[in-house]
Amino acid sequence: MEIKVGLASCGLAAGAGAIYDGIKDYISSKGLDIELKKTACIGMCFAEPIIEITTDDGKNITYGRLTDADIAPIIDSCLQNNPLLEKAILSPDYDCPENDNKASQTRIVLRNAGRIDPESIDEYLENDGYKSLEKVLKEMTPEEVIKEIKDSGLRGRGGAGFSTGLKWQFAWQNESDKKYVICNADEGDPGAFMDKGILEGDPHSVIEGMLICAYTIGADEGYVYCRAEYPLAVRHLKKAIADATERGYIGDNIFGSDFCFDLHIKEGAGAFVCGEETALIGSIEGKRGMPNLRPPFPAKSGLWGKPTNNNNVETYGNIPWIILHGASEYRKYGTETCAGTKAFALAGKIRNSGLIEVPMGTPLRKVIYGVGGGMKFDKPFKAVQLGGPSGGCIPEHLLDTPVEYETILKTGAIMGSGGMVVMDSDTCMIDIARFFLNFTQNESCGKCTFCRIGTKRMLEILNRITRGEGVLEDIDTLDKLAHQIIDTSLCGLGKSAPNPVLTTIKYFREEYIAHIVDKKCPAGVCTALLKYTIDAGKCVGCTACARKCPADAITGKVKQVHVIDQDKCIKCGACYEACRFDAVVKV
């Protein structure tokens, strides 16, 4: 029997390390003939800690939401060929709750994540690892590789969706004595963890994609720019680079060819603006990460003034699969203008939060209610923030929008790198716009006046509105400032920073009016516009609210109606959460 334990960041945070140690101790104490392995995240972060068991008769079962007490009975039952199914979440052999979740996905870039040990180059090799690199070095010219990537229809998965093959062609055409390849792993969007999941789960696929790119454009050196807040991803990358170098996949005369390549890791300090490629390049060079005017584009003058190709983690992760299986096979997924698949990080008020991969063109409704399992607390869906802080909020009536670059752009949002933050009826859209604008305002490098000052002025207006101090003219002012920032900013951060505000005004204007005119927050989130009271008809005098109140603002005797002193109330919501009789209400 074989047991794999998911030890990615999500699993470790949920206690998978203790589960792994517990299984190891149990196997040892019982003298069991069981092979214990490590793997990464299979994408079902909502069910961590997760283990996968392959029984002696070849059946496969994945268990989730485990505790130490589950270890012995699950292992014993599987050894007896009568597996317990109470905590089984996924299986090709049994009827499990997440079977539909997995069946709704098409995993190309995530093909190995959660299946192999990311720290084992041998397991990567057993799953067609470095075969694509060998193929291009022995059988293909750079022109043929570029054509294959162009024919596949692969578009950059980091944001704007530019043709990957065309981008490589530009770098290949620019002659130079030195060229570079960069992998942008500076994933800074709140709620996004696609790059982290890929690098933690399958770092060799990204390295192989970079090697193929380097051969194609004529580069001999590369950098993975990975944020330091991803320590496990960095550790797996370092191990993968060291192992690939030892085996000869990185270094001199790879596969006996003239191709030589060195790869380095540059750990970023967490500046969101360094996700923009010219700022990223400046950071690698040791400068302050600030965007530069383009042209010249990096394909002509990038790192240290040399031709440079920069793609993100997911883009490179697709390359080995495309080379091995062919452009036409990749074209079978997705749509005419957006081929292949897309990885998304599902977060927020969604039942199945985690990392997924679906064909391009999949409707948002299917992503959220099909793969994502719908709303976590069974409350009405309100919006999904797509594209991170530079994206926009898409309302319920647009949920049938297919996941395609141009189609999503028409809604006012962007595809971005693939973060999806799902919101329910308890979400205040002005507060959400304020949260994301606060993020981009803090992350502005300050180079452009309208980005530096304009976002600050917009944030001040949003703060006033959430305090009940707004006026109707503020809505027009926000719209005017937003378009001025978009028109005058140098890089993508400024050009997209107003998107959350613009989309919330467009789709949820009535909430702005309620805050400004009625001085009420319909979602009951903005504390300055909120008041907690106790419904005398429902209060049973259990004293739970009074005991939880940190301000001693609630008085009342046992089995008698309680009262909230509004002068003392700090509007923390502790009483609302504590009441089991729905007697505490927001007004």
Examine residue 296 and say whether the peptide bond preceding it is cis (omega within 30 degrees of 0). Answer: yes
Name the 3-class secondary structure at 61: strand
Q: Contact at 8 Å (CB) between 402 and 335?
A: yes
Write out the two tokens for 84.
């317990």
Q: Where are the domains of the chain?
A: 2-100, 121-330, 341-424, 429-518, 531-586
What average pLDDT does this structure show over 117-145?
A: 98
Task: Tell me the C-alpha distance between 373 and 367, whole Å.
Answer: 8
Contacts of 295 (CB under 8 A, 6+ apart): none
pLDDT number for residue 188: 85
Contacts of 286 (CB under 8 A, 6+ apart): none
Q: Which CATH number is 341-424's, of 3.10.20.600, 3.40.50.10580, 2.40.160.10, 3.20.20.10?
A: 3.10.20.600
Task: Tell me the C-alpha distance between 531 and 124, whole Å.
Answer: 57
User: CB-hemisphere CA count at 13 Å for 180?
Assistant: 23
Average pLDDT, the chain: 96
For the domain bounded by 531-586, which CATH number is listed? 3.30.70.20
- Rounded to two decimals, the pTM is 0.94
pLDDT number for residue 158: 82
What average pLDDT does this structure show over 500-511?
A: 97
What average pLDDT does this structure show over 446-452?
A: 93
What average pLDDT does this structure show over 141-164?
A: 95
Write out the two tokens for 295.
């042209």
Q: Which residue, among 444, 392, 452, 397, has the nearest Cα to 416 in the 3D structure? A: 392
What average pLDDT does this structure show over 90-115?
A: 95
Q: Is the pLDDT of residue 101 over 90?
A: no
The band of 306, judged by pLDDT with boundaries at 50, 70 and 90, is: very high
278 to 287, 295, 305: CA distances (angstroms) = 11, 11, 11
Architecture of domain 429-518: Up-down Bundle (1.20)
pLDDT number for residue 389: 87
Taking phi over 0 as left and psi of -120 to 50 as alpha, with beta for the rest, 485 belongs to alpha
Place of tokens 């799902």: 422
pLDDT number for residue 152: 98
E strands, 238-353, where? 262-268, 308-312, 341-348
Task: Tell me the C-alpha distance between 13 and 10, whole Å.
Answer: 5
What average pLDDT does this structure show over 95-99?
A: 94
Write out the two tokens for 124.
């990567």
Bridge partners of 356, per DSSP, are 344
**DSSP letters along 546-561, please?**
HHH-TT--EE--TTS-
Name the 3-class secondary structure at 368: helix
Q: Contact at 8 Å (CB) between 74 and 63?
A: yes
Q: Is the pLDDT of residue 178 over 90?
A: yes
The number of angstroms, rounded, from the C-alpha of 97 to the middle of its chain's C-alpha atoms is: 23
Q: Is the pLDDT of residue 433 over 90?
A: yes
The band of 416, judged by pLDDT with boundaries at 50, 70 and 90, is: confident
Contacts of 149 (CB under 8 A, 6+ apart): 164, 165, 168, 319, 322, 327
Q: Contact at 8 Å (CB) between 584 and 534?
A: yes
pLDDT number for residue 212: 98
What is the β-pairing status of strands 180-185 and 51-54? Answer: unpaired
Q: Contact at 8 Å (CB) between 194 and 417?
A: yes
**DSSP letters along 452-496, please?**
IIIHHHHHHHHHHHHTT---THHHHHHHHHHHHHHHH-SSHHHHH
For the domain bounded by 121-330, which CATH number is listed? 3.40.50.11540
What average pLDDT does this structure show over 37-45?
A: 97
The number of angstroms, rounded, from the C-alpha of 294 to the middle of its chain's C-alpha atoms is: 28
Task: Tell me the C-alpha distance between 9 and 36, whole Å.
Answer: 19
Q: Contact at 8 Å (CB) between 288 and 100?
A: no
Architecture of domain 2-100: 3-Layer(aba) Sandwich (3.40)
DSSP 379: P
What average pLDDT does this structure show over 290-300?
A: 93
Tens digits of residue pLDDT in 183-232? 999 998 888 899 999 999 999 999 999 999 999 999 999 999 999 999 99
pLDDT number for residue 512: 98
Tens digits of residue pLDDT in 325-371? 999 999 999 999 999 999 999 999 999 999 999 999 999 999 999 99
Q: Is the pLDDT of residue 439 over 90?
A: yes
Contacts of 329 (CB under 8 A, 6+ apart): none
Please give the share of the chain, as a percent, with pLDDT higher than 90. Answer: 94
